[in-house]
Amino acid sequence: MKVKGIIKDNKVQLPEAITVPDGTEVTVEISDRSLSSAADQWQRLQQVAGAWQDDSEIDEVFAEIDRERHAYRGRDIDFSVFE
C-alpha cells in the first residue's frame, strides 16, 4: 500500500483514514524533491527557463501541436441504434 502524508509536529498526518491495525510497522520514504527549499527550486527553474530560446525547430514543434489540436477527425456514428 502506498499512502501520502504530511509531517506536522514530527508526526505523519494522513489525508484520510486507512485500515491498518495500530502498531503496524511502516517505512517512510522522504523524496529529495520535498526537501529542497523554494530558493533551490527557483534557482533550478532559472537554469532551464528559456532553454529552447535559440532552438530553430521550436516553431515547427508548436505549429505541429496546433495542427494536431485543430484537425477535424470526424466522428463515428453507430447506425445500429436507428434499427
What pTM value is reported for the model? Answer: 0.33
User: 23 lies in a domain?
Assistant: yes
Q: Could you list the residue range(s) of the whole structural domain that residue 20 is in?
A: 6-28+35-70
Which grid cell is 18? 486507512
pLDDT at 68: 92
**pLDDT-wise least confident of 35-39, 41-45, 55-59:** 35-39
Overall number of domains in the chain: 1
**For the residues of 10-69, what is the DSSP string, one character each?**
TEEE-SS-----TT--------HHHHS-HHHHHHHHHHHTTTTTT-TTHHHHHHHHHHHH
Task: Kindly state the helix (H) or strand (E) to which residue 70 belongs, with its residue range.
Answer: helix 58-70
pLDDT grade for 34, boundaries at 50, 70 and 90: low
Longest dimension (CA), the chain: 66
